[in-house]
Structure 1
Amino acid sequence: MAPVAMSLAARSLSEVRPVPFWLDAPGKPGALPALAGQTTCDLLVVGGGYSGLWTALLAKEREPDRDVVLVEGREVGWAASGRNGGFCAASLTHGLGNGLARWPGELPALERLGARNLDAIEETVARHSLACDFERTGEIDVATEPHQLEELAELHETAGRLGLADGLELLDRDAVRAEVDSPTFLGGLWDRRGVAMLDPAKLAWGLKRACLDLGVRIFENTPGLDLVPVGAGMGVRTPYGRVVARRVALGTNVFPSLVKRVRPYTVPVYDYALMTEPLSPEQLAAVGWRNRQGLGDGANQFHYFRITADHRILWGGYDAVYPFGGRVSEELDHRPETYLKLAGHFFRCFPQLEGLRFSHAWGGAIDTCSRFSAFFGTAHRGKVAYAAGFTGLGVGATRFGGDVMLDLLAGERTERTELEMVRSKPLPFPPEPIAWAGIGITKWSLARADERGGRRNLWLKAMDRLGLGFDS
Structure 2
Amino acid sequence: MNHAPTDADTSRRALSFWHDTVPGGLDPRPGLPGDQTADIAIVGAGYTGLWTAYYLKRADPALRIVVLEAEFAGFGASGRNGGWCSAIFPSSLTKVAKVAGSPAAATALQRALNATVDEVGRIAAAEGIDCHYAKGGTVVLARTPVQLERAHEEVEEGRAFGFGEEDLRLLSADEATQHAHAADVLGATFTPHCAAIHPARLARGLAAAVERLGVPIFERTLVTEIRDGVVRTPHGTVRAEIVVRATEGYTATLRGFKRAIAPVYSLMLATEPLSDETWTAIGLTDRQTFADHRHLIIYGQRTADGRLAFGGRGAPYHFGSSIKPEYDRELRVHAELRSVLVELFPVLDDVKITHTWGGALGVPRDWFASVGVDRAAKLAWAGGYVGDGVGASNLAGRTLADLLRGERTELTELPWVGHRSPRWEPEPARWLGANLGLRVMSAADAEEARTGRPSRRAAIFGRFIGH
Fold equivalence (TM over 0.5): yes
Shift of 1:344: 1.4
Between the aligned partners of 1:160 and 1:206, the Cα distance in structure 2 is 37
| Mapped contact 2:252–2:260 kept (Cα < 8 A) | no
SS of corresponding position for 2:113: helix
What's the counterpart of residue 389 of structure 1?
Answer: 384
Q: Deviations over 1:418-439 (max 9, x none)?
A: 3332233223221111112222
Q: Is the 8 A contact 1:226 1:258 kept in 2?
A: no
Partner of 2:18: 22
Structure 1 residues 420 and 169: CA distance shift in structure 2, 3 A:
closer
Deviation at 1:443, TM superposition (A): 2.2
SS at match of 1:372: coil
The answer on whether the counterparts of 1:41 and 1:69 sit within 8 Å (CA) in structure 2 is yes
Q: Is residue 44 of structure 1 aligned with residue 72 of structure 2? A: no
Q: Who is 2:346 aligned against?
A: 351
Q: Read off the aligned partner of 2:188 and give its amino acid letter.
A: G
Q: Compared with structure 1, are the counterparts of its residues 211 and 341 closer, same or farther at alpha carbon in structure 2 (3 Å cutoff)?
A: same
- Is 1:82 aligned to residue 79 of structure 2? yes
Aligned equivalents of 1:459, 1:394: Cα separation in 2: 24
Query: Partners in 2 of 1:115 and 1:353 — Cα distance?
Result: 33
Q: How does 1:174-253 map to 2 (within 5 A)?
A: 174-192=174-192, 194-229=193-228, 234-253=229-248
Amino acid in structure 2 at the alignment position of 1:198: I
Deviating more after overlay: 344-353 vs 302-311: 344-353
Q: Deviations over 1:352-379 (max 9, x none)?
A: 2221111000010010123334123434
Instruction: Provide the secondary structure at the position in 2 that maps to 1:417.
Output: helix
Please name the residue that 1:267 is paired with. 262
The two structures have a TM-score, normalised by structure 2, of: 0.89
Q: Aligned partner of 2:421: which letter?
A: P
Looking at structure 2, the residues matched to 403 and 37 of structure 1 have their Cα atoms a distance apart, in angstroms, of 29
- Other-structure match for 2:31: 34
| Structure 2 residue aligned with 1:162 | 161
Of 297-306 and 358-367, the range deviating more from structure 2 = 297-306
2:54 maps to which of 57, 60, 73: 57
Deviates more, 1:166-175 or 1:325-334: 166-175
The one of 403, 415, 418 equivalent to 1:423 is 418
Bigger drift between 237-246 and 218-227 goes to 237-246
2:333 to 338, 343, 347: 338
SS at match of 1:177: helix
Give the structure 2 partner of residue 469 of structure 1. 465
Which range moves more in the overlay, 411-420 or 30-39?
Answer: 411-420
Task: State the AA in 1 paired with 2:18.
Answer: W
Call closer, same or farther: CA 1:304–1:95 in 2, change over 3 Å.
farther
Q: Tell me, yes or no, if structure 1 residue 449 matches structure 2 residue 448.
A: no
The corresponding residue for 1:4 is none
Offset at 1:412?
4.1
Closer, same or farther: CA 390–235 of 1 in aligned 2, 3 Å:
same
Partner of 1:410: 405
What is the one-letter code of the residue matched to 2:226?
Answer: L
Q: Judge conservation of contact 2:179–2:284 (CA < 8 Å) in 1.
A: yes
2-structure distance, mates of 1:288, 1:113: 30
Instruction: Tell me by how many angstroms 1:109 deviates.
Output: 0.7
Q: Distance in 2 between matches of 1:455 and 1:343?
A: 26
Q: Letter of the aligned partner of 1:274 in structure 2?
A: L
Whether contact under 8 Å (1:300, 1:447) holds in the other structure is yes
One-letter identity of the residue aligned with 2:76:
A
Q: Deviations over 1:182-220 (max 9, x none)?
A: 11322111102x111100000001101110111111111
- Give the total of aligned pairs: 447
Q: Quick one: which of 314, 317, 325 aligns to 1:319?
A: 314
Verify the 8 A CA contact 2:148 2:186 in the aligned structure 1: yes
Q: What stretches of structure 2 of length at least 5 have no aligned partner?
A: 1-12
- 1:447 deviates by 2.4
Paired position in structure 2 for 1:141: 140
Alpha-carbon distance in 2 for matches of 1:258, 1:323: 13
Q: Aligned pair 1:121/2:120, yes or no?
A: yes
CA contact (8 A) 2:96 2:415 kept: no
Following superposition, the deviation at residue 154 of structure 1 comes to 2.4
Q: What is the letter of the counterpart of residue 167 of structure 2?
A: G
Q: For residue 305 of structure 2, what is the amino acid of its counterpart? A: D
SS of equivalent residue, structure 1 residue 248: strand
Matched AA of 1:353:
L
- 1:96/1:176 Cα in 2 relative to 1: closer, same or farther (>3 Å)? farther
Cα root mean square deviation, aligned: 2.3
Is 1:300 the counterpart of 2:295 in the alignment?
yes
Equivalent-residue separation in structure 2 for 1:77 and 1:470 (angstroms): 27
- What is the identity percentage for the equivalent residue pairs of Structure 1 and Structure 2? 33
Q: Residues 264, 366 of structure 1: CA spacing in aligned structure 2 closer, same or farther, 3 A cutoff? A: same
State the alpha-carbon separation in 1 of the partners of residues 418 and 214 from structure 2.
32
The change in CA–CA distance for 1:97 and 1:22 in structure 2 (over 3 A counts) is farther
CA distance in 2, matches of 1:207, 1:388: 18
Q: Is the 8 A contact 1:179 1:288 kept in 2?
A: yes
Local SS of the residue matching 1:469: coil
Whole-Å separation in 2 of the counterparts to 1:388 and 1:340: 30
Summarize the alignment of residues 360-375 of structure 1 with structure 2, pairs less than 5 Å apart. Answer: 360-375=355-370
| C-alpha distance in 1 between matches for 2:433 and 2:459 | 11
Q: Do 1:171 and 1:189's aligned partners in 2 also have CA atoms closer than 8 Å?
A: yes
Cα gap change, 1:235 to 1:158, in 2 (>3 Å): closer
- Deviations for 1:428-459, whole angstroms, at most 9, x for unmatched residues? 22111111222232222222322333634368
Distance 1:135-1:97 versus aligned 2 partners, 3 A rule: farther
